[in-house]
Structure 1
Amino acid sequence: MWVDALAALARVDRLHHEFFHPASRGWEPPVDLLETTEGLILVVALPGVLAADVDLLIGGGQIAVIGIRRLPAAHAPARILRMELPHGRFERRVALPPGAYEVVRSALADGCLTVILRKLS
């Protein structure tokens, strides 16, 4: 139990540090930001990225999508002839329209992360 609590605190500390003191942002995935009557829909192109490798942070009028795209283990022994798909750490910060928002739901499917944000009154 304590191990889980300490691991969670370490993760929160790491995310806080990455959000407020970014060192290297890496590559930036393309995004779409759509407004609905209830809030916002953010769609981030993340082909080949696992959901466990993505974190969302919201604050200061923006949302940050931070994570890593790993080279598949099956590709490791191969000799690279061409590599155009970005790998490694990525970070994308998107300014939000004025107001306060909360993440209602997020799902990674078909290479796209879809984040539903509700505007708070």
Structure 2
Amino acid sequence: MRDPADWMLSEAIEALARAERLHRQMFQPPSATRRAAWEPPVDVIETEQEVLILIALPGVAPDQVETVIEDGTLVVAGRRVLPPQLRTAVIHRLELPQGRFERRIPLPPGHYDAVRRAAGDGCLVISLRKAP
């Protein structure tokens, strides 16, 4: 049997995580051109040779994501939609956000000479190789 204190703590942490996701979704300024409904969480990791950006986008194909670098910021945009076969399903819980997303990610200073995109483990992985 689960310890009530552990259960309450895990429920509280989950509630805080949901609140933070909602806050990010609701209180971000909209894009000047198209309004985004949500923004995916990201990790930015820098090594000596490259900058890796991991963007949590389960169910979104990498070729359906627009990416552009503007003034030292990586802009990632696209749309996450339910697959057609699920549109008539009875949904008991829907926590993954749907609709248009956009995320503006400030990049570390520098120049990049190669960009790679790949999908793995529910994430879009963007690799920016540093120019010598």
TM-score normalized with structure 2 length: 0.69
Gapped regions of structure 2 (runs ≥ 5): 1-30
Given the alignment, which residue of 59, 70, 73 partners 1:59?
A: 70
* 3-state secondary structure, aligned to 2:37: coil
Does the C-alpha gap of structure 1 residues 103 and 67 become closer, same or farther in structure 2, counting only changes over 3 Å? Answer: farther
* 3-state secondary structure, aligned to 1:34: strand
Q: Does 1:36 find its partner at 2:47?
A: yes
Residue correspondence of structure 1 range 107-118 to structure 2 within 5 A: 107-118=118-129
- Looking at structure 1, the residues matched to 71 and 50 of structure 2 have their Cα atoms a distance apart, in angstroms, of 17
Letter in 1 for 2:32: H
Q: CA deviation at 1:38?
A: 1.2
* 3-state secondary structure, aligned to 1:80: coil
TM-score normalized with structure 1 length: 0.75
Gapped regions of structure 1 (runs ≥ 5): 1-19
Q: Deviations over 1:54-102 (max 9, x none)?
A: 1111120110111111111111111333321101111111001112224
Structure 1 or 2, whichever has the larger Rg, is: 2
Q: CA deviation at 1:103?
A: 4.4
- Looking at structure 2, the residues matched to 41 and 102 of structure 1 have their Cα atoms a distance apart, in angstroms, of 14
Is the Cα–Cα contact under 8 Å of residues 45 and 111 in structure 1 kept in the other structure? yes
* 3-state secondary structure, aligned to 1:63: strand
Tell me which protein shows more strand as a share of its residues: 1
Does the C-alpha gap of structure 1 residues 71 and 103 become closer, same or farther in structure 2, counting only changes over 3 Å? Answer: farther
Identity of aligned residues (%): 47
Q: Does 1:77 find its partner at 2:88?
A: yes
- Looking at structure 1, the residues matched to 45 and 128 of structure 2 have their Cα atoms a distance apart, in angstroms, of 10
* 3-state secondary structure, aligned to 1:104: strand
* 3-state secondary structure, aligned to 1:52: helix
Paired residues in the alignment total 102
Runs (4+) of structure 1 exceeding 2 A deviation are 20-23, 79-82, 100-104
